[in-house]
Amino acid sequence: MSGCAAEADAPVVRLPPVGAGMDYQLGGAYEPDPRVGIVARDRTDEPSEGRYSICYVNAFQTQPGERATWPDGLVLRSGEDGDRDDVIDPEWPDESLLDTRTDAARRALADRIGDETRACAAAGFDAVEFDNLDSYTRSEGLLSVADNLALAGMLVQTAHEAGLAAAQKNAGDDAARFRAGAGFDFAVVEECVAYDECGAYASVYGDHVVVIEYADNLPRPFEEVCADPLHPEALVLRDRELVRPGELGYVFELCP
């Protein structure tokens, strides 16, 4: 009976509304287009009032400018003793990979990232996306899918206990494994149209796939993407830097 009671007491998470317009505002919060019903923002911003709000948490790499706040023991390092360097994301050179290889490290990471997750819930967000889940693919062979899966399971549990839905971020090749093993509720995906990967997520999460494409890497006109009957329901075209309206390079388009 105690297990049933605990399950009954667990907060009910809410998934993103199917078919709602999406905006990805990691470069800074602003008033969304009236057609938008789903907004993702950084954990340091407030949720978008009246819209389904996703909280961005960089869970598997250090956030730019925050490396000094992480102990070396939780950051993935390579090389010989005495001459060890952080393993860096080659596309984001100000982000170091976090070390998920041991249970002790994962528990320490889960404590810190769990605090950030609970802060998202306290701020009023509906969901959390744990970014860089696929860090094992750029870890110089030091991390495995199993390492990140183990941490992901801890983070999803924390999110659910806080009343947040948990989004798998990228890692399409392992989507089925992450959903089954970690319990993710939906997916937030970058550039699955550009790399022809949307089906990998849809086969696991159905219509609960939120997609961001970038104007500098779209293989065909956005109008053609929207005309494809198989395009994701929640799809937005943004600029790579995710700047705000009025700033140089701003791009925001939704399908009709």
DSSP for 123-185? HT-SEEEEETTTGGGGSTT---HHHHHHHHHHHHHHHHHTT-EEEEES-GGGHHHHHHHH---
The domain made up of 2-254 is a member of CATH 3.20.20.70? yes
Burial of 151-183, coded b for 16+ CB within 10 Å and e otherwise, reads: bbbbbbebbbebbbbbbbbbbbebbeebbebbb
Please tell me the predicted confidence (pLDDT) of residue 156: 98
Question: How many Å apart are CA 121 and CA 54, to the nearest integer?
Answer: 10
Q: pTM of the full predicted structure?
A: 0.93
Please tell me the predicted confidence (pLDDT) of residue 231: 87
pLDDT (tens, 9 = 90+) of the chain, 256 residues, equals 444 444 455 678 999 999 899 999 999 999 999 999 999 999 999 999 999 999 999 999 999 999 999 999 999 999 766 567 999 999 999 999 999 999 999 999 999 999 999 999 999 999 999 999 999 999 999 999 999 999 999 999 999 999 999 999 989 999 999 999 999 999 999 999 999 999 999 999 999 999 999 999 999 999 999 999 888 989 999 999 999 999 999 999 999 9
**Cα–Cα distances in Å, from 76 out to 67, 90, 93, 180, 230?**
12, 14, 14, 26, 39
Please tell me the predicted confidence (pLDDT) of residue 12: 85
DSSP, collapsed to helix, strand or coil, labels residue 22 as strand
Please tell me the predicted confidence (pLDDT) of residue 83: 62
Please tell me the predicted confidence (pLDDT) of residue 79: 79
- Residue extents of the structural domains in the chain: 2-254
